[in-house]
Structure 1
C-alpha cells in the first residue's frame, strides 16, 4: 500500500466558527479515531490533494505535532457548491484489528468480446474489502480474459487473497456491450441467412 505523510496540528477549540476560520486560512479540520483516544486536528488543505483526488488507496502517516499515527482515510466532506474539502475522518490502524476500505479495481487480460468490437463498460470502480492492515491490497485484480460479447463479470468471480470482499457477490464489475453498428450487422447477417 502506498504511503503518504500529512503534517497537522492539534485543535484546542472545537466548533463551527473555529472550523470556518481554519477553512478560511486554507486548513482542513479533521478527526482521528479508532485508537486510545480521538485526536482533533487541522492540516494544510494542499497536503490532501494526492490523497483525495486519486483512485489509489494510501496508508497515511499522520504527524500531529510530532506524534505519528498510522491511519487510513475513512470519510470526506465537501462543500456542496464550490467542492472545497470541509472535513476529513481518519481511522487509526492497529495490527490486530481488521479494517474495511474501498479498493480500486484493476482489469487484467484482454476480453475476446472487446477484440470482436464490443465495448468494456465498468460498473464498479472500487470494491469494499475487509482485511488486517498488513494484508490490505493496493487494488483488486479482475481477470477479463474470458469475458465474451454481451456478458458480465460479477464480484463472485474474484478470488481474494488474505482479504474478504464485502461488496455484493452478484454485483457486476464490468460488462462487454454490443455497439449499435455491430447489432445491426448481426441483424443483417441473420436476415441474409433466411
Structure 2
C-alpha cells in the first residue's frame, strides 16, 4: 500500500490542534540511519486507510518530499469519542530490520470440518491476533489458521499453527496458548406434556 505524507514545520500542541482543524493529522517517522522527522497526512485519506487490515500489518510505501520510503505503522492515537485520528507513528524499515509485530489471525476451513459440518459445533475465537518476530521483508499481512480437520471437543493451540518460513511466534514465556475452541450446540430439551390430575369430586360437580 502507498500513501503520501508531507513535511511538517511547526510542532507543539497548539500547532497540532490548528493542523487538525485544517483536515490534517500530525505524525512522526523514525528509525533507520535518518533522524526522526515530523510529518502530516490528509486526515480523510488516513481514516479510510486505517480501516484496511493491510495498512496495520504490512510494509507501506510512504511518499515524502519526492522520495519513497518503506515504513511500518507503529502507533495510532484516536480521539476518545470523535471520529478523529490525533497522531500516527511510522517506523522506517529495510531488508535488515527485524520486527516484533502483532498480526491478525485468519481462520479458514471451519465449514468443512467434522465439528462444524457434521456435529454443528460453533467455533469460539479465543485469539484474533498474535505477535510474531521476523524480518520486515517477511512480514505477513495475516497468519492463517486451518480448521478444516477439527473435531468436536477439540482445542486449537498456538503449536498447531503452521507458520510461513522465517516467522516465529512471540509468546513471552507462555507455551501452547489456546487459539480457538469448538463449542457443541446446546441440545434443546423438550419437556413432556403435564397432564393435570382431575379431582373426582370436581369432575362430578354440577351433574345430577
| Ranges in structure 1 where 5+ consecutive residues have no aligned partner | 186-194
Deviates more, 1:13-22 or 1:165-174: 165-174
CA offsets, 1:90-136, max 9 Å, x none? 11112112112222212233332112111112122221111112211
Tell me the CA shift for residue 145 of structure 1: 2.2
Q: Which has the higher strand share?
A: 1
Deviates more, 1:105-114 or 1:75-84: 105-114
Q: TM-score, normalised by structure 1?
A: 0.85
Q: What RMSD over aligned residues (CA atoms) do the two structures have, in Å?
A: 1.9
After the TM superposition, list the runs of 4 or more consecutive aligned residues in structure 1 that deviate by more than 6 angstroms.
none
Report the number of matched residues. 181
Aligned match of 1:140? 143
Larger radius of gyration: 2
CA offsets, 1:42-96, max 9 Å, x none? 0101222343112233321111221321001111100112141111111111211
Maintained 8 Å contact 1:108/1:143 = yes
Aligned match of 1:189? none
Aligned match of 2:177? 171
1:20-169 equivalences under 5 Å are 20-35=17-32, 36-56=34-54, 57-109=57-109, 110-115=112-117, 116-160=119-163, 161-167=165-171, 168-169=174-175
Tell me the CA shift for residue 149 of structure 1: 2.0
Maintained 8 Å contact 1:8/1:62 = yes
Maintained 8 Å contact 1:103/1:127 = yes
- In structure 2, what is the Cα distance between the partners aligned to 1:106 and 1:117? 21
| Ranges in structure 2 where 5+ consecutive residues have no aligned partner | 191-208
